[in-house]
Structure 1
């Protein structure tokens, strides 16, 4: 009887100890709200991090919201509707120019080239950039990175986008593809998978890559307010660790394997299209293989902004870029 009482008492003690420990474990789970500027296969490593449970491994419960447009994404971040924004680095420069006392800091880079492609309404066997002269070109929203990179590439090939062609820039991001499909423009600048879907359906033909032409730039990065980093440094480090693991996974796995992992994020896109797009982005080096945004990329970004007449003023690299977190993650 005494032996049974001892066993019962021991079990009771164990249960008393386990319950608080389990509760503590739950308390350690940190919620992180991400706002992405658009839903795109261009962001494949982010979806891999979610689907493969890399955030969960770090004790993070991530919720993802698509906030169409850089301005809306930044508004969501500044108003604390989200914790982390996935958007072009140029937006952090725009916020800085407004004199914010809580700067938006780029802490982990996801893509390192432009993600758009030049799509022609007609099938062109031997495309050259001067074929755009005298045509109507449906471009991206003025002030955004796609538009600035697009104009940079046109000028690189001796085309004045405001004189040598009719440039349309007043169409909202979400309506650019439908506008082209309905007959507006002879050329259009599109993200994937829309460009490949159009090609498959015979609505247009990919003739060039703006990413290949514009060089390395911090096209899309994870950023947050300095105050959030100050108050949640460990969380930001865990977040970056999950992203870095996903970047390495995408780099070391085939386009088909990546497509299989992220397909649930693209319900209306066929698997073969997803695979083709991932392969295209990998082949042109669009996916960053690590989360570090380097000085050369930052300078190239500001050069492109300046060329487009959209740079408010030069911003010091270290004032809006934090590489310490990414470097720490990579060392470990």
Structure 2
């Protein structure tokens, strides 16, 4: 049977996308008749060009993009999520022996990577507001490459560094002068990484393909949740997927994500969605929170839940 082409464009290559990589490697999409392929443009906002010119069927990235574009530039419809929590970590220096709380960030300098979009700053500043800290009382250095900022932080710049958890843990593993102050996967639900496409291009045939994609992705999520990352076969896959990070670090972060709700289902929970909308409003990306049904069509994901369908 010929596979239906299902090209995906993504804003990056990240550990929080792991269930999709597993679904691809294990043939879960192929068994459902979908030929899923992935491209990652540089710069990342080329994903919108790929949707516009038809070279991609869907985009994987932050929900803040379709939120801020809605009724301004282009309307997009979100149909699934892969990451249910923020994959970030906050680093500080080991010379700081105080018990950490977010209130300690007030009046300090925070380095934040921003190469993959605005999510890092958006989430961290929302988290500060939720904990009663005015983000305007913090100094930020965030318009530089993440590797450059990491080197500068280790060299003495700033007080804290926000980056992805995998990079943070790899840094801690090789540098005893820095430590994890907070893993943000523990800080509640948000639809961190979602799939979407232009609203006007959605047809019954598209919805059917999205449904089958969600079935395959759900199988990938379930596989990850059912297997400890330290198992030999899983560990070997992680080593192939992330060859530039020490495998013990990848295994540890994967298991932290498994335990702390990074991956749940392909459906976007309303509570996390509404929380993130408030964060986007307070960051002035949107004027008011967008109603769930105004941005999300949960039908493909809902149809996939509990479905054990194969090709």
Aligned pair in 2 of structure 1 residues 188, 73: CA closer, same or farther (>3 Å)? farther
Structure 1 residue 178 displacement after superposition = 4.2
Gaps of 5+ in 1: 1-24
Partner of 1:256: helix, strand, or coil? coil
For residue 108 of structure 1, what is the aligned residue in structure 2?
A: 80
What stretches of structure 1 move > 6 A for 4+ residues in a row?
A: none
Partner of 2:180: 206
Q: Structure 1 stretch 35-44 or stretch 250-259: which is displaced more?
A: 250-259
**Residue 18 (structure 2) aligns with:** 44
Identify if the C-alpha distance between structure 1 residues 255 and 190 changes in structure 2 by more than 3 Å, giving closer, same or farther. Answer: same
1:264 aligns with 2:236: no
CA contact (8 A) 1:108 1:240 kept: yes
Secondary structure of 1:53 counterpart:
coil
Superposed CA offset, 1:214-256 (max 9, x none): x211111111223443142322222111101111111111122
Question: Whose radius of gyration is greater, 1 or 2?
Answer: 1
Distance change >3 Å, CA 83–CA 68, structure 1 → 2: same
**What is the count of residue pairs matched by the alignment?**
301
Map 1:12-31 to 2 at 5 A: 25-26=1-2, 29-31=3-5
Between structures 1 and 2, the one with greater helix share: 1
Counterpart check, 1:311 vs 2:282: no
Partner of 1:167: 140
The answer as to whether partners of 1:70 and 1:88 remain within 8 angstroms in 2 is no
Q: Which residue of 2 aligns with 1:139?
A: 112
User: Aligned pair 1:192/2:168, yes or no?
Assistant: no
The question of whether the paired residues in 2 share the 8 Å contact of 1:45 and 1:110 is answered with yes
Is the contact between residue 170 and residue 246 of structure 2 (CA under 8 Å) also seen in structure 1? no
Are the aligned partners of 1:111 and 1:221 in contact in 2 as well (CA < 8 Å)? yes
Q: Is the 8 A contact 1:38 1:68 kept in 2?
A: no
1:306-332 deviation line (CA, Å, top 9, x unaligned): 222322443222122111111112253
1:241–1:174 distance in 2 versus 1, CA, 3 Å: farther
Q: Secondary structure of 1:232's partner?
A: helix
**In 1, Cα distance between the equivalents of 2:260 and 2:158?**
27
> Is 1:120 the counterpart of 2:92 in the alignment?
yes
Q: Is the 8 A contact 2:274 2:289 kept in 1?
A: no
3-state SS of paired residue (2:219): helix
- In the TM superposition, residue 148 of structure 1 has moved relative to its aligned partner by 1.4
Q: Which runs of 5+ in 2 are unaligned?
A: none
The alpha-carbon distance between structure 1 residues 229 and 173, as it changes in their structure 2 partners (threshold 3 A), is farther
Matched position secondary structure for 1:114: coil
Q: Identify the range of structure 1 (75-84 vs 242-251) with the bigger mean alpha-carbon deviation.
A: 75-84
How far did 1:183 drift?
Answer: 4.1
How many Å separate the matches in 1 of 2:51 and 2:155?
Answer: 34
TM-score, structure 1 length as denominator?
0.82
